[in-house]
Structure formats: C-alpha cells, structure tokens
Amino acid sequence: MENTEAKNNPYYSRTDTVKLNVSNEEWKKILAPDLYAISREAATERAFTGKYNEFDELGEYYCAVCGNHLFRSTTKFSSSCGWPSFFEADKEGVYYKRDTAYGMERVEVLCKRCDSHLGHVFDDGPKPTGMRYCMNSVSLEFVPDSQK
C-alpha cells in the first residue's frame, strides 16, 4: 500500500526519528483535509468507516503524518468499537496526554515524533496488557511484511 501523502510531505520518513517541530499552518498545506482534521485538530473518523477497522494483514503501522513507527500487526485485535484497535504500542512511537474534552476523562495517544493526535487508549483491552489503543485509520499507514 503506497502512502500518497508522503509524496508531497518533506517531513515524512520511516527511518528518521528526529523530533519534528512543524506548525499547523505548514501541516495544513501538506496533509489531506481528513488527515489534518484528525491529526492536528483531534477530530475522529466515523466508527466502522476506517480502512483498517476490519483488516488483519501482517505488517507494521506507521504515523500517516510523519512515518514514525507506531504498532505491529501482531498487537492488533478485532474490537467491536468500530476503530482499529491494538493492545500495545511502540514505546518509542507514542506518548500520552490527559484529555477531558466532551465531559469525558480519557487518555489521548499522540505521535512522539510529530505530536499528531492518533486516538485514545482505554484499559478494557485483551491480555497480555489489558489495554485498548483505539486509533483512527486515517492516522495510520500500513506497510505489509511482504514489502520489507
């Protein structure tokens, strides 16, 4: 699967881990409108509409904004919530923030390299971690093992 975003995105790299400091004004020129809304304004894609919601190929998931590694497919599980769900994230890939928007107490998950919003994490996931990383498909880019 090719990342069509990456062609016009000079910050995108699957190997460079140097922290990015790019303004939203700049991102707006680079990212597709749906990706900008989710990654930079914390919007949420509609449940059951994402391309990775029902998807179980073997491979790696990267940040669609910057190419940072986020998840391995072996930590993905079928959840009924309507968004792609994982029980574990790459520790080097993400960080967390308390999110009290919409009167809810949630933990936001963000990309460590580009500070983009990815989704939220809940503690009702399966073993071994008990965590459920509830992600937006739009924020993810999947690369199959066969393409390595």
Binding site for Fe ion (CB under 5 A): 63, 65-66, 68, 111, 113-114, 116
134 is catalytic: yes
Taking the complex as a whole, the smallest distance from the CB of residue 103 to Fe ion amounts, in Å, to 28
By beta-carbon proximity to Fe ion, the closer residue of 12 and 83 is 12
Q: Degrees (nearest 5) of the Cα angle 104, 31, 66?
A: 80
Exposure string of 106-121, with b = 16+ CB inside 10 Å and e = fewer, is bebbbbbbbbbbbbbb
By beta-carbon proximity to Fe ion, the closer residue of 66 and 89 is 66
Cα-Cα-Cα-Cα torsion 107, 111, 44, 102, nearest 10 degrees, comes to 30
Taking the complex as a whole, the smallest distance from the CB of residue 11 to Fe ion amounts, in Å, to 9
Taking the complex as a whole, the smallest distance from the CB of residue 62 to Fe ion amounts, in Å, to 8
Taking the complex as a whole, the smallest distance from the CB of residue 143 to Fe ion amounts, in Å, to 15
Instruction: In whole angstroms, give the CA distance from residue 26 to residue 59.
Output: 30
The H or E element that residue 134 is part of is strand 132-135
By beta-carbon proximity to Fe ion, the closer residue of 61 and 87 is 61
By beta-carbon proximity to Fe ion, the closer residue of 28 and 48 is 28
Please, is 22 exposed, middle or buried when counting C-beta atoms within 10 Å of its C-beta (0-12, 13-18, 19+)?
middle
Instruction: List, by residue number, the catalytic residues.
Output: 134
